[in-house]
Amino acid sequence: MKNQSSIDRFKRSLRSVLIGLVCNIILACTKIIAGILGNSYALIADGVESTTDIFSSAIVLGGLKIGSMPADEHHPYGHGRAESLAAMIASVALLVVGVGIATESIREIGHPHHAPAAFTLVVLVVVVFIKEFLSRFIFSIGKDVNSFALEVDAWHHRLDAMTSFAAFIGISIALLGGKGYECSDDWAALAASVIIFFNGCILLKKAVAEIMDRAPSSQTEAIVRKTASEVPGVVAIEKCRLRKSGLQLFVDIHVEVDGKLCVMEAHDISHHVKDTLIAAPLGIVDVLVHIEPAPHNY
């Protein structure tokens, strides 16, 4: 059964993704329409990239919902890996987008066209501000709830802001340079595709590491050790292993107690350690406590 902390973390995560999803739908339509009317391939490409953000946000949303499902007979540790899998799929989506935009940019560079319309710059300025705000908002929540999928979603928003800024520069050069500079926005789209692909590789590497059971940060382990060591009757913490599954943490901990205690007293201490860790705002849902006799000279 989830504690209140886990429920609150899930609700905050879900709310942030839904806000980003709605914004992505509105901005994608706006950029594509403005790009077509304003004769800017960089803006159209930016709009297409936003449609993949819709896809990735939907994947993250699904991953969070599946990951929040309770443990069952076939999944005794719950379904938290769905969140990590969603992060990996969203990272791959960035790679696909990078390659796609690069291909189309190169094709457009070889085909002369009219210079973009000036009003497209206004659209891009608005987009950059909105997407950077969304990125910071979702990234902050992702850090708070310890969700890598949310961090990937935040990076989708930030990269969208970066591609929009690149498009702004390209269109500005095309308008200021005049004849002969019409393809500047295509070069800007190509530069943005390199940024997207590079960051997609970094995020994919992190997503795979999480799927492969990479241990949480040493800072988190230190907090777990400190919290457990403050429980009355605990002499020391011998071992502490943490396993992250979506928004949840599972802890295996070896606790040293006075070796002269009876079994019941040691058992009560172990339960106190478990209850204390689960109550802490760390997203811990289960703790396996192993009791060890402390050295005689402690």
Q: Give yes or no for a contact between 41 and 108, defined as CB atoms under 8 angstroms apart.
A: yes
Question: CATH code at 67?
Answer: 1.20.1510.10
Q: Is residue 298 part of a domain?
A: no
pLDDT tens over the chain, length 298 residues: 455 556 677 778 888 888 888 888 888 888 888 888 887 766 777 777 677 778 777 887 787 777 777 777 777 777 777 777 877 887 888 788 788 778 877 877 766 666 677 788 888 888 889 988 988 988 888 877 777 778 778 887 887 787 788 778 877 887 787 676 667 767 777 887 887 788 788 878 878 877 877 777 788 889 999 999 999 999 989 889 888 877 678 899 999 998 888 889 989 999 999 999 988 877 788 899 999 898 865 5
Are both 9 and 153 inside the same structural domain?
A: yes
Question: CATH code at 226?
Answer: 3.30.70.1350
Q: Single out the residue in 211, 245, 271 at which a domain terminates.
A: 211
Are both 168 and 260 inside the same structural domain?
A: no
Are both 189 and 224 inside the same structural domain?
A: no
Are both 145 and 277 inside the same structural domain?
A: no
Q: Residue for token digits 């060890």?
A: 292
Are both 27 and 159 inside the same structural domain?
A: yes
Are both 178 and 231 inside the same structural domain?
A: no
Q: Give yes or no for a contact between 287 and 274, defined as CB atoms under 8 angstroms apart.
A: yes
pLDDT at 146: 73
Are both 162 and 245 inside the same structural domain?
A: no
CA dist 170 and 41 (Å) reads 10
Are both 40 and 16 inside the same structural domain?
A: yes
CA dist 254 and 264 (Å) reads 17
Are both 270 and 183 inside the same structural domain?
A: no
Q: Is residue 273 part of a domain?
A: yes
pLDDT at 1: 46
CA dist 259 and 250 (Å) reads 27
Are both 163 and 104 inside the same structural domain?
A: yes
Q: Is residue 232 part of a domain?
A: yes
Are both 266 and 166 inside the same structural domain?
A: no
CA dist 217 and 284 (Å) reads 14
Q: Is residue 16 part of a domain?
A: yes
Are both 111 and 60 inside the same structural domain?
A: yes
**Burial of residue 78 (number of CB atoms within 10 Å: 0-12, 13-18, 19+):** buried
pLDDT at 6: 63
Q: Residue for token digits 């806000």?
A: 19
Q: Single out the residue in 180, 196, 211 at which a domain terminates.
A: 211
CA dist 42 and 113 (Å) reads 13
Q: What sign does the CA torsion over 265, 269, 270, 274 have? A: positive
Q: Single out the residue in 187, 211, 235 at which a domain terminates.
A: 211
Q: Is residue 82 part of a domain?
A: yes
Q: How many domains does the chain have?
A: 2
- The domain in which residue 223 lies consists of 218-293
